[in-house]
Amino acid sequence: MNKLSGYIASTVGGSILLVFLLVLGLDVIAAIVDQLGDLREAYTFIQAIYYVLLTVPGSINEYVPLAALIGSLVGMGLLASSSEIVVMRASGISLVKLADYAFRPVFLVIIFSMLVGEFVAPTTDRWAKTHKDLKLWGSTHSMVSGRTGLWHREGDTFMHFSVVQPGGVLYGITLFEFSDGELSTARTATRATYQKDQWLLEDVKDTEFNQSAIRTRELTTLIWNSTLTPASLAFLVNEPSELAMQSLVYYSDYLQEQGLDAGPYQLAFWQKCLQPVAIFGLVLIALSFVFGPLRSATMGFRVFVGIVVGIAFQFTQNLLGPASLIYGFSPLIAVLIPILLCVFAGILMLNKAR
């Protein structure tokens, strides 16, 4: 029995790995081609490849569900095509036991993807973006008009940072301060460093607006007090889907304290938290297809069905997620609906196959 479980696990696990490497390879090639439009004197082709390689860990979580779905279809489909599943069933092994053997490599894939998503991908994604932003900003030294950077708001102050580097270093800082709904101060700085719980702006240009005049001054340095810290700025660099779950909880609380919308970060948290259940549901769908309607189908048709199911699942998630932010219902419900549909459909088809 141990040999049989190992054989099924190696077949399914090998298929998942092969599909994942194929999809990831295509994604890397497409990402390199996409970077060609950003090439500059400071951002060379080698720099672009370095950027793409740093984003590879972040792609693991993105493609693991699809790889698990198609890989399970291919792996178990190979066993079905060679009538090995029929022999196993004839020897008294139930469909539940076969499904258990097939799920074992999937659990390892889930654990691996979660470890990478929590401890590796957020850091490498941040390195990639700061590396690229610094190269592109360095060739223009533009402020808000640049192609790089991010926006943030704290109270009545709107901020734009062209480059955010780890460790509390900013480049290309622009601050717009409003009073009673009107612009009161516009401030730009070339560089800022975080020192003793405050920011030190360098090469500052200050413009103050009032009803009678506009006053401009230039300063070598200026202290800027803000609740922003290097840790919270690190959250701004990454998209919500690129952050670790602990970071999503922390930054969601911070946004709510500032009176800002934390919906995208709460949605990303539930998507990451429930991704193992989503992968379980997709693999359950794959197994129910192999044991049921696709047990005699060709391998090409199984792969086609897997791609269609994966796209439909992703489309449903991409539709319900933003809809929850627009219409105000819980992001948890938006994430759960497609997952529960997969789980219930898989269980129903497996029961019919029995």
DSSP-derived letter for residue 277 is: H
Coil, helix or strand for 260?
coil
pLDDT, residue 301, reads 84
pLDDT, residue 111, reads 94
pLDDT, residue 260, reads 79
Q: What is the dihedral of CA 308, 310, 316, 322, to 10 degrees?
A: -130
Q: Which two tokens stand for residue 46?
A: 């080698």
User: What is the model's pTM?
Assistant: 0.84
Taking 80 as the threshold, does the pLDDT of residue 341 lie above it?
yes
pLDDT, residue 4, reads 87
Answer with the residue of higher pLDDT: 43 or 143.
Answer: 43
pLDDT, residue 25, reads 95
CA torsion sign for 72, 77, 78, 82 is positive
Q: Are 238 and 129 in contact (CB under 8 A)?
A: yes
Beta partners for 159?
A: 152, 175
Q: What is the dihedral of CA 113, 115, 121, 123, to 10 degrees?
A: 180
pLDDT, residue 148, reads 65
The b-or-e profile of 193-203 (16+ CB within 10 A means b, else e) is bbeeeebbbbe
Q: What strand order describes the sheet that includes 157-165?
A: 150-154, 157-165, 169-179, 182-195, 198-209, 214-224
pLDDT, residue 150, reads 85
Element of type H or E holding 86: helix 84-90
Taking 60 as the threshold, does the pLDDT of residue 145 lie above it?
no
Q: What is the mean pLDDT of residues 292-319?
A: 84
How far apart (Å, rounded) are the C-alpha atoms in residues 342 and 354?
Answer: 18
Taking 60 as the threshold, does the pLDDT of residue 139 lie above it?
no
pLDDT, residue 32, reads 95
Q: What is the pLDDT of residues 176-221, one digit of tens each?
A: 999 888 889 999 999 999 988 899 999 999 999 887 788 899 999 9
pLDDT, residue 115, reads 94
Q: What is the pLDDT of residues 227-281, one digit of tens each?
A: 888 887 877 788 898 899 998 998 888 888 878 788 999 999 999 999 999 999 9
Count how many residues are written for the chain.
Answer: 354
CA torsion sign for 160, 164, 167, 170 is negative
Any idea what the Cα angle at residue 61 is, between residues 276 and 339, rounded to 5°? 35
Answer with the residue of higher pLDDT: 354 or 337.
Answer: 337
Q: Are 161 and 188 in contact (CB under 8 A)?
A: no
Q: What is the pLDDT of residues 57-103, one digit of tens each?
A: 999 888 999 999 999 999 998 888 888 888 888 888 888 898 899 99
Q: What is the pLDDT of residues 121-137, one digit of tens each?
A: 999 998 998 888 888 87
How far apart (Å, rounded) are the C-alpha atoms in residues 58 and 81?
Answer: 35
pLDDT, residue 107, reads 94
Q: Are 132 and 171 in contact (CB under 8 A)?
A: no
Q: Would you kindly state where each structural domain of the chain is located, as residue ranges?
A: 2-119+263-353, 145-238
Q: What is the pLDDT of residues 27-61, one digit of tens each?
A: 999 999 999 988 888 889 999 999 999 999 999 88
Element of type H or E holding 202: strand 198-209
Q: Which of 104, 83, 89, 76 is nearest to 9 (CA)?
A: 104
Q: Which two tokens stand for residue 127?
A: 């390195």
pLDDT, residue 9, reads 92
Q: Which two tokens stand for residue 20?
A: 């994942």
How far apart (Å, rounded) are the C-alpha atoms in residues 343 and 340?
Answer: 5
Using alpha carbons, list the distances in angstroms from residue 226 to 35, 178, 246.
35, 15, 23
Angle between helices 95-119 and 121-138 (to 10 degrees): 40
pLDDT, residue 15, reads 94
Residue that the structure tokens 């599909």 belong to? 19
